[in-house]
Amino acid sequence: MNVTFVARGGVQTASSRFRAWNIVEAWQDRRVRCHWLEQIEGILDTIVADVIVLQKPDFRRVGPRLLDDLAATGTRLICDIPDPVWCLMKDADWRDFASRVHDFVVSNPGLGRALEEDHGIKSTVIADRMPYTAKHKEHRATLRPIMVWFGQSFSREVSLASVGQHLARIRANDIPFTLRMIDESPEEEFRLQFGWNDWIDYRKWNLQTFEDELIQADFALLPGFPGRWGQMKSWNKPITASWAGLPVTDGQSYDELYRLLTDVQYRTDQGAKARAWAEREGDVRQSVQEWKDLLGWK
């Protein structure tokens, strides 16, 4: 069986890295390959695949003509989505696309429920996972602990608005800390007016430096998104921080934030639990096996 993943972006793009490039690398079989969508039209005639996985397809490029061309070869088409991409399309256009796809894979159960509720489409959940890494945080006492948030810059305010009051209270009680923000736009200051910018450390996200900058932090502050949107989000941020050995908090408890900032033994214990969870549930080889099960891989 030959399987080709068509990734929305390159390895620098988080969803494509988690759900295509890392999967193919961990599969370690020459019959399983990955191509970047941007290059697919130029090599379409050279692809021989029994299964093509469209990872978060860009509907400006993946239209009916391309899908029909792929279907004409007898290829099994699978759409893998980490976000509710159908919400960005007319319902009729989404239904037309979905009618040409044989299977859907989603990144989490909430996203699967939403897809079925909105369009009656059943899907298979394959979670975001990461390659094994031995590198992780060794917790030590520090005068100014670093809490780290990371993601796309547009989601800063949506994510962190819910923790502003607790952070302001911590600051009012003279508990020192730094909030490290790692995203693609460090030159843009955080817009919420909590007087935060003098204690924010802005870092530009880069795949080559990210792991080290993450491990320099003492715990991860990763509030969820509100409403139905939050229920459809992947666990890729908590699993990333957990592989790094960082405690993870959503920041909704003042007492927990206080303890993470002031108790190094608590950070050490929670970091060890997080790392154990990542090793148990977050190894990309588990996702490879789930893909094999779905495909009936032989």
CB 295 within 8 A of CB 288: no
Look at strands 51-55 and 32-36 and give their pairing: unpaired
**Rounded distance between C-alpha atoms, residue 15 and residue 151, angstroms:** 11
- Residue 40 pLDDT: 64
Indicate whether this model's pTM tops 0.85. yes
Tell me phi and psi for residue 75, to 5 degrees: -75, 140
Residues 58 and 91 in one domain: yes
96 lies in the same domain as 164:
no
Domain containing 72: what range?
3-131+283-295
Coil/strand/helix, residue 195? coil
Handedness of CA 186, 189, 191, 197 (dihedral sign): positive
Residue 182 in 3-state DSSP? strand
* Amino acid letter, residue 190: F
Phi, psi of 60 (to 5 degrees): -75, -25
pLDDT score of 37:
79
Tokens of 83: 């976000």
pLDDT tens figures, 176-212: 999 999 999 999 888 876 777 778 999 999 999 999 9
Max CA pair span of the chain: 67
The domain that holds 92 is classified in CATH as 3.40.50
- 274 and 152, same structural domain? yes
Tell whether 264 and 195 lie within a shared domain. Answer: yes
The reply to whether 207 and 159 lie within a common domain is: yes
Judgement on whether residues 241 and 173 belong to the same structural domain of the protein: yes
Tell me the mean pLDDT in the region 139-152.
97
For residues 70-82, give the mean pLDDT: 87
Q: Which helix (H) or strand (E) holds 96?
A: helix 91-98
Q: Residue 137 falls within a domain, yes or no?
A: no
Residue 231 tokens, joined: 């229920």
Q: Which pLDDT band, with edges at 50, 70 and 90, does 45 fall under?
A: low
DSSP assignment, residue 143? S
Predicted pLDDT at 113: 97
Closest C-alpha among 44, 18, 20, 48 to residue 34: 20
Residue-wise pLDDT for 12-27, tens only, equals: 999 999 999 999 999 9
* Residue 210 belongs to domain with CATH number: 3.40.50.2000
Residues 72 and 182 in one domain: no
pLDDT for 139 equals 98
Binned at pLDDT 50, 70 and 90, residue 87 comes out as very high
Residue 102 counted as domain residue: yes
| pLDDT tens, position by position, 216-255 | 999 999 999 998 989 999 999 999 999 999 999 999 999 9
Q: Please report which confidence band the pLDDT of residue 42 belongs to, taking 50, 70 and 90 as the band edges.
A: low
d(CA 42, CA 173): 60
Same domain? For 203 and 226 the reply is yes
The reply to whether 40 falls in a domain is yes
Segment 265-284 shows an average pLDDT of 98
Predicted pLDDT of residue 64: 77
Residue 226's CB is within 10 A of a number of other CB atoms, namely 12
Count: domains in the chain: 2
Residue 175 and residue 81 share a domain: no
How much is the average pLDDT of 84-105? 94
